Every structure is written in structure tokens, then in C-alpha cells.
Amino acid sequence: MLRIETKNNTADGMHPLLEKTGLKVKKMESTTDNDPDALDCKDYLRSFRQGLISQVEKVSGYEKSYVTRTRTPVPFYWATHSEILDQVRASSFKKGFYYESELTARVIEAFKGDSDNNDNKRIFLDVGGNVGWFSLLAAAHGASKVYTFEPNPTNLLRLCESIILNGFEDIIQVIPMGASNVDETKMFFQGAESNPGSFTFDETISMRHNNRTAVELGEIVLVQLDTFAEKRGWFAKNSNNSPAVNIAFFKLDVEGFEPFIMQGTTKLFNSRIVKQFAMEMKNGKMHKKRQKKAMVKTVFEAGYDLYQTGMYRGPQQIVEKKYDTWESLAEDIVTQKYPENLLFRRREVDVNK
């Protein structure tokens, strides 16, 4: 079993979420602003500078970082891998703007105009953060706190560089673990070689992308999002019975593992603290029909409507049809009436009824 290890096993400050990987990096100092399980990016970059993160050192090229100032309404610095290592984001580095331009616009809109009488608690939940485009985007455009789930050590490197460059240490909380339907530790594998942010729990998928070899990346700590939210008091109420927190936007993009994560979000959606939720329901083998139906059922029964859909650039087309049942919505999604990029929006309750 391959583990992500540092070359110096005597380093202090083991991060508990990375204990199974052997990666000795510190948690953020415990303050009222930082999450108790957040990664200390300065310590992580210090370990990288000293050549102590073995998983990063195994492949030549990660020692080079490519930084651009973005061409967004509020610019920020964004660190990416080289074009050789990450062809998916290479064009974005050159243009200063991410290829998922419509989803980018939706995130900006969410934090420019969302108040919900909870202005100091506008959260962006980014599950599958990769090298951090959407997390950085939300932080730059008004999110009060960003929780970025990203366990891949190479992506953590670029993400941490961007956070430090922009001074977002108190806004973006890097959670170096994955989300799932159970709390456990599991081996994960490299996905498409051209995309260092791509990983999978399925050995056969890794073999398909890596010359019939399942490339192990290490063990990953997994947690249910319901568990994560509960421990942080997200389901608490204010004195006026309003939610204590407001997740203005929840983005889920985890290379086909979405159905399992959604099984661990029932309480999160039923609490209605999430205002908008974006994800892809892939066609083909990645998402089975029964899995799509189960995911639709979770969000629809919790009080969310399909608001926009779109192709690879993200959701942009408003859905005019109103659905009375989750079954009818699921049927239209399964039969591909809509493109695979979906944006759900919380159904507002008429208090006068």
C-alpha cells in the first residue's frame, strides 16, 4: 500500500486528517476565524520548499508554479501547474479566465448580490476544489468564508500558493480530505494523466487512463458532509429561528463520486442552509440512472428546484418548466432533456400561505 509520505518522519505537527497518509503538516492555529481541521498552508509550502513531500517530488515539474492575475471583475492571483502537467487548465492560465465561464459567472453573482440577512455568514462550500479557481473566485468576490475540500497533495500545493499570494488565509479553509457517504479511510488512484486534479477510488478507471496500471496516490480520509456540518454547528438557529449560517453556494465536482457524497448530505439540504447548489450529472457510465434519480430525489424533496442548465462552460439556460414531483424531474434529466451541468436553487416558502 502506497502512502503519501514526507522524507522527514520526525517533523512535528502531524495534521490528524493526513495521519493515514504519513504527511506531516500542521493544522491552522486554533482561532475563532480558522477551522480546527484546516491545513496550515504556510507549513505545507515550507515542507514543499524543503523537498519533504514525497508524492510531489516523484514527478518532475511540480517545482514550477505558473501564476497569473485573473481577468475577473475582482482580480486575484492564481497559481497553476505547467501546461505539460495540466493541459486542462493551461488555456485558463494564458487567458486569465477559467474555461467554465458560466459557472464562474454564477458564483460571482451569488456573492455580489446575496445577503439573506446573514451578510457576515456567506459561505462557499467547494467540494472538489482542485487548484482552487472557484474557491479563490468566491473569496475575491465577497464570500465571508470558503471551505475547500481537496485531498490531492499536488493540488494542495498550487491552492496554498494562491491563498498566500492573495492573503486569503483567514477566508479559505483548506480541508485536506474527501467527502463521502461514510466516515472512513480509503485508497485513491490517479485518474486522467493529463489532469493532475483527477483521481478516483475505482482501480479500473485508473487503469483505463494510465496504460493499464492503477496508479495509487495514497489513502484519503473521508467524511460525510452532514457530519462535517454538524460538528461546526451549521444546523443551529439564531434567536429569531433563522439559520446561523448561510451557504450561498455549494459546488460539487468530484470525478464521478458525486452519488456517494450526496448520500451524506440529506441533513445539509433538509436544513435549507444551502441557497444554490451546482453539480454535473454525467451521461454514460460515470453516473448510472438510478444514481441520478437518487440525487434528484435528495435535493427536490429538501425543497430545491432545477433553476439553470448548461454544457461544459456551466449552467446558463433558465429552466422554464415547473415540476411537481422529483420523479418527473429525474426522468427528464435521465433522458438527457437537459445538459449535464445543473444548478439547483432553494425553493422559497411563501410565509403568507
Q: Do 275 and 307 touch, CB atoms closer than 8 A?
A: no
Q: Is the pLDDT of residue 20 over 60?
A: no
All domains in the chain, ordered by first residue = 98-280 (3.40.50)
- The residue among 335 and 30 whose pLDDT is bigger is 335
Mean pLDDT of 214-223: 84
- The residue among 336 and 30 whose pLDDT is bigger is 336
- pTM here is 0.87
Q: In this predicted structure, what is the pLDDT of residue 181?
A: 96
Mean pLDDT of 34-63: 90
Q: Residue 61's Cα: distance from chain center in Å? A: 24
Q: Is the pLDDT of residue 222 over 60?
A: yes
| Beta strands 216-223; 178-179: pairing state | parallel
User: What confidence tier does 241 reach under pLDDT thresholds 50, 70, 90?
Assistant: confident
Q: Which amino acid is at 104?
A: T
- The residue among 192 and 132 whose pLDDT is bigger is 132
Mean pLDDT of 148-162: 94
Mean pLDDT of 191-212: 73
Q: In this predicted structure, what is the pLDDT of residue 85?
A: 85
First to last CA, the chain: 59
- The residue among 128 and 88 whose pLDDT is bigger is 128
Among 82, 86, 5, 79, which residue's Cα sits nearest to residue 47?
5
- DSSP letter at 266 equals H
| DSSP bridge partners of 251 | 126, 278
Q: What is the pLDDT of residues 173-182, one digit of tens each?
A: 999 999 999 9
Q: In this predicted structure, what is the pLDDT of residue 15?
A: 52
Mean pLDDT of 91-99: 80
Q: In this predicted structure, what is the pLDDT of residue 208?
A: 81
Q: In this predicted structure, what is the pLDDT of residue 124?
A: 98
Mean pLDDT of 260-277: 97
Q: In this predicted structure, what is the pLDDT of residue 26?
A: 58
Q: Is the pLDDT of residue 191 over 70?
A: yes
Q: Is the pLDDT of residue 141 over 60?
A: yes
- Give the phi and the psi of residue 65 in degrees, each rounded to 5: -115, 140
Q: Do 146 and 124 touch, CB atoms closer than 8 A?
A: yes
Q: Is the pLDDT of residue 226 over 90?
A: yes
- The residue among 19 and 77 whose pLDDT is bigger is 77
Q: In this predicted structure, what is the pLDDT of residue 210?
A: 78
Mean pLDDT of 95-102: 88
Mean pLDDT of 38-45: 96
Mean pLDDT of 280-285: 84
Mean pLDDT of 76-89: 87
| Beta strands 184-190; 216-223: pairing state | antiparallel
Radius of gyration over alpha carbons of the chain, in Å? 20
Q: In this predicted structure, what is the pLDDT of residue 352?
A: 47
